[in-house]
Amino acid sequence: MSDDTIARRIESLVEEEQSLRGREQTDAGNAEQFDEDRRRLDQIAVDLDRCWDLLRQRRALRGAGQNPDDAEVRDADTVERYLQ
């Protein structure tokens, strides 16, 4: 996966996130839809973290003179449990 492909995926996820956040007011009256949107927002957050992680890996490998294509998508548990 290229940097451009990852960047486009990030942009797509951000657009979806913004759309869902924009619907929060109208979905608040429908508990089922609101809960579904909340679950999707949570998944988007994880997907974004994984994309950013992959992009950082690729940049680090490139900066170290290595092949950025050696970067691998890490599982959600690994990415979400990083210590800040």
Task: Look at residue 3 in the predicted model and tell me its pLDDT.
Answer: 95
Whether the pTM exceeds 0.85: the reply is: yes
pLDDT of residue 84: 57
Tokens (6 digits) for 17: 């996130």
The mean of the pLDDT values for the chain is 92
Note whether 23 and 40 are within 8 A (CB): no
What pLDDT does 23 receive? 86
Greater confidence (68 vs 29) lies with 68
pLDDT in tens, 45-67: 999 999 999 999 999 999 999 99
Q: Which whole-number Å values give the CA distances from 7 to 2, 65, 75, in the listed order?
A: 9, 21, 19
